[in-house]
Amino acid sequence: MKQEQQNPDGIPPGPEDDFIVEFDFDGGWLGLTLLEGTRAEARRLAAGLVEQFDPLHLAVSKASLQQELEEHALSVHESGPLLTAVAYTDSGVFLADMSVLAYGEDGVTRPSPEEYGDMLLKWSYAEVKGDADITEVALPIGPAVRVQAVLVEKRRFGWGKKLSECLRYWVWPTGHEEILLVEARWHNFERTDELTDLVDRVVPTLRLVPTLLEPGTDNAPEPPSEL
């Protein structure tokens, strides 16, 4: 699933080299973040992830799964995420993707959650269908606004429509100038409850590790595994 992002009006991407994003992945997510964004890097990462699947449970070939992961990693990397992860079934069927992006500018005061309200329901690639569920939440990292909505995705050349569901957390990390966007998206509505829980359980573990410091063993997330 291609993840398209557009910077909110007047809020340029934040300085991505100040920190790295970490979660405590307790299963269900496969880390797909690329550092260099090269084909070779994506191929190595995808090959390692495929080895985490039990070949006896796979309903697809390892080669096709690796190719899918490789292409997804390269596609999402274009939007400049701080972190990318995907969820799959143990049979190798794609379920959802999740990315983290940062918005902000050094020396510029970020808008408060109240001032940012108009941006909460703006997607560059879709429009909201019906009413979105918007909730203010307190995360360990700072205040956040949780947004869950059904989207009508825009098709190329305007042909047809495609529905998806998106769960966003707009996060205001304490002690930082950036606003973080954690966004997960899926098309399988029959698994909405399961995928919503998967996102809601991992977001409170969000933390930022300065890149000037070597992440310690205690800060490193557990190796992700397939759903």
DSSP the chain: ------PPTT-PBP-TTSEEEE----SS-EE---SS--HHHHHHHHHHHHTTS-TTT-SS-HHHHHHHHHHHHHHHHTT--SEEEEEE-TTS-EEEEEEEEEE--TTSPPPPTTTTGGGTT--SSEEEEEEEEEEEEEETTEEEEEEEEEEEEEPGGG--EEEEEEEEEEE--TT-S-EEEEEEEES-GGGHHHHHHHHHHHGGG-EEEETTSPPPGGGSPPPP---
> What pLDDT is recorded for position 218?
45
Quick check: 131 pLDDT over 50? yes
> What pLDDT is recorded for position 1?
35
Q: How confident is the model at residue 151 (pLDDT cuts 50, 70, 90)?
A: very high
pLDDT digit string, tens, across residues 95-123: 999 999 998 877 778 889 888 888 899 99
Quick check: 221 pLDDT over 90? no
Q: What is the pTM of this model?
A: 0.82
Q: Mean pLDDT throughout 193-218? A: 82
Q: Mean pLDDT throughout 20-49? A: 93
